[in-house]
């Protein structure tokens, strides 16, 4: 019976395990691990000589290219389109899945008569994504990709607006990134002083510089642990020297995602005063651990971080600060240190929200329902 055939979906994602693990890569793995009745394939860039093909969890990984140079990233688009056509000829796909806007390029170039889902996972601002001079000539291709998507999902209400700006006219499904609640629950570890922690790429948008400036306004027992690497690392170390707080900051470099709970349990406050954010799975993970969270309400953060003063109509889930405001960060840290009862209540609210909306099991069911609808629509055509 043809209807009993296993459905196949081809995912396009510039990065994937094991070399690069951000919110999008974690989402792909967590969702595909939980949907075993679909045969998953992924086309991704080979960043550093990983195997050209391997099976990881439920996903058949196909890596293209040999390194992560700028040219390799550009060439990935036509290469992925060509490979998708070749793979489709031998064993046809019933659906395609673009992980982030730029992955529409290979889908549009491949011109396969197959419905596709686009997931908006971007953390950078709109201007960075769509208005830089070298992207503008290709905007029409992207717009075409948006307009012809069967379904668009977005991490947040903020990102959902992007789809409408790019010409997608149907309702956008809000499907956030989640957390493996079981893995991130546990008991906090005793330690001296007050430890602030961030899990962030060291780039301008994540505003680690503002936390370093805030540290200079806080008592000496407050320390700061930074998990992550990025192009701003040297400048941030220089800033720490200038602010005379170097000895209170630990740059811990890249920490594997599976080891992150251990570090979060040994901290007191999670902080990332982002200048832009699509959603930010790190905040959700910190809430699942039970850490009080200090953040801005930029972009998708506003969907889950509700502040006592700024959102009086909602249960408080964190401490909101303005963008570029080390003084407000320092005040929020002091408020958390001096009000344990308030912190307990906010932690409970945050954890309840995470359990209700951000459990990967729930999110995988949402995505599975969307894919089944895509299959049904392709069948009816």
Which residues form the domain of 246?
A: 181-357
Q: How far apart are CA 356 and CA 303, in angstroms?
A: 13
What is the pLDDT, as a whole number, of residue 213? 98
Q: What is the mean pLDDT of residues 151-168?
A: 94
Q: How confident is the model at residue 16 (pLDDT cuts 50, 70, 90)?
A: very high
- What is the average pLDDT value for the chain, to the nearest integer? 94
Question: Average of pLDDT values for 267-295?
Answer: 95
Residues 115 and 51 in one domain: yes
pLDDT of 378 higher than 60: yes
Question: Do residues 343 and 376 share a domain?
Answer: no
The terminus-to-terminus CA distance of the chain in angstroms comes to 19
Same domain, 23 and 167: yes
Distance CA 333, CA 221 (A): 12
Report whether pLDDT(199) > 80. Answer: yes
Q: What is the mean pLDDT of residues 239-265?
A: 95
Answer for the pair 99, 121: CB distance below 8 angstroms, yes or no: yes
Handedness of CA 3, 6, 7, 8 (dihedral sign): negative
CATH of the domain at 110: 3.40.50.2000
Q: How many whole angstroms separate alpha carbon 103 and alpha carbon 117?
A: 11
Band of pLDDT at residue 1, cut at 50, 70 and 90: very low
Instruction: Indicate if 206 and 119 belong to the same structural domain.
Output: no
Residue 20 pLDDT greater than 80, yes or no: no
Query: What CA–CA distance (Å, rounded) separates 263 from 157?
Result: 30
Per-residue model confidence (pLDDT) at position 2: 46
pTM of the model: 0.89
Segment holding 59, helix H or strand E: strand 59-64
Q: Could you tell me if 338 and 312 lie in one domain?
A: yes
Q: For 33-77, what is each residue's pLDDT tens digit? A: 999 999 999 999 998 889 999 999 999 999 999 888 888 999 999
Q: Are residues 199 and 132 in the same domain?
A: no
Q: What pLDDT was estimated at residue 380?
A: 56
Nearest-CA neighbor of 354 among 305, 298, 321?
305
CA–CA separation, 139 vs 133, rounded Å? Answer: 10
Over the stretch 295-311, which tens digit does the pLDDT of each residue have? 999 999 999 999 999 99
**Residue range 88-98, pLDDT digits in tens:** 999 999 999 99
Query: In the structure, what pLDDT confidence band is assigned to residue 4 with cuts at 50, 70 and 90?
Result: low
- On the question of pLDDT at 250 being above 50, the answer is yes
Residue 258 or residue 169, greater confidence: 169
Please compute the mean of the pLDDT values over residues 121-131 and round it to a whole number.
89
Report pLDDT digits (tens) over 315-337: 999 999 999 999 999 999 999 99
Return d(Cα 238, Cα 242) in angstroms, integer. 6
Same structural domain, 163 and 20: yes
Q: Are strands 269-272 and 293-295 parallel, antiparallel or unpaired?
A: parallel
Q: What is the pLDDT of residues 178-196, one digit of tens each?
A: 999 998 987 888 899 999 9
Buried b (16+ CB within 10 A) or exposed e, 291-319: bbbbbbbbbbbbbbbbbbeebeeeebbbb
Question: Do residues 28 and 153 both lie within one domain?
Answer: yes
Residue 379, pLDDT score? 62
Do the Cβ atoms of 44 and 129 come closer than 8 Å? Answer: no
Please choose, from the candidates 229, 227, 223, 336, the residue with its C-alpha nearest in 3D space to the C-alpha of residue 290. Answer: 336
The confidence band for 258, taking pLDDT boundaries of 50, 70 and 90, is confident
170 and 293 in one domain? no
Residue 142 near residue 103 (C-beta atoms within 8 A)? no
By C-alpha distance, which of 101, 151, 99, 153 is closest to 125?
101
Regarding whether 233 and 142 lie in a shared domain, the answer is no
Handedness of CA 124, 129, 131, 133 (dihedral sign): positive
pLDDT of residue 309: 97
- 225 and 315 inside one domain: yes
Question: Do 73 and 186 fall into the same domain?
Answer: no
CA distance 132 to 30: 32
Number of structural domains the chain divides into: 2
Query: For 210-237, what is the mean pLDDT?
Result: 97
């Amino acid at each position: 019976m043809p209807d009993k055939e296993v459905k196949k979906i081809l995912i396009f994602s510039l990065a994937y395990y094991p070399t690069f693990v951000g919110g999008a890569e974690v989402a792909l793995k967590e969702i595909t691990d939980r949907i075993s009745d679909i045969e998953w394939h992924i086309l991704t860039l080979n960043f550093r000589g990983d195997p050209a093909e391997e099976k990881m969890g439920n996903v058949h990984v196909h890596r293209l290219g040999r390194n992560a140079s700028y040219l390799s990233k550009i060439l990935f688009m036509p290469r992925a389109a060509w490979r998708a056509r070749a793979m489709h000829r031998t064993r046809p796909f019933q659906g395609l899945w673009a992980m982030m806007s730029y992955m529409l390029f290979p889908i549009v170039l491949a011109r396969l008569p197959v419905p596709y889902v686009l997931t908006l996972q971007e953390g950078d601002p709109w201007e960075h994504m769509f208005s830089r001079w070298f992207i503008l000539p290709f905007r029409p291709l992207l717009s075409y990709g948006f307009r012809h998507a069967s379904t668009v999902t977005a991490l947040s209400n903020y990102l959902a607006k992007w789809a409408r700006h790019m010409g997608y006219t149907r309702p956008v499904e809000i499907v956030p990134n989640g957390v493996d609640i079981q893995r991130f629950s546990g008991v906090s570890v005793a330690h001296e002083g007050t430890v602030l922690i961030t899990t962030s790429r060291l780039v301008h948008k994540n505003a680690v510089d503002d936390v370093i400036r805030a540290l200079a306004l806080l008592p000496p027992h407050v320390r700061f642990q930074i998990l992550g690497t990025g192009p701003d690392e040297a400048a941030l170390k220089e800033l720490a020297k200038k602010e005379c707080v170097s000895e209170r900051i630990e740059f811990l470099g890249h920490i594997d995602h599976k080891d992150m709970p251990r570090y979060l349990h040994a901290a007191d406050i999670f902080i990332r005063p982002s200048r832009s954010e699509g959603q930010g799975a790190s905040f959700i993970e910190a809430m699942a651990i039970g850490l009080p969270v200090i953040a801005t309400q930029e972009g998708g953060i506003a969907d889950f971080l509700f502040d006592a003063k700024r959102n009086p109509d909602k249960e408080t889930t964190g401490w909101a600060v303005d963008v570029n405001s080390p003084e407000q960060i320092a005040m929020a840290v002091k408020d958390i240190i001096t009000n344990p009862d308030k912190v307990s209540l906010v932690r409970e609210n945050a954890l309840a929200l995470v359990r209700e909306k951000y459990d990967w099991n729930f999110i995988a069911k949402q995505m599975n329902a969307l894919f089944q609808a895509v299959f049904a629509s392709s069948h009816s055509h």
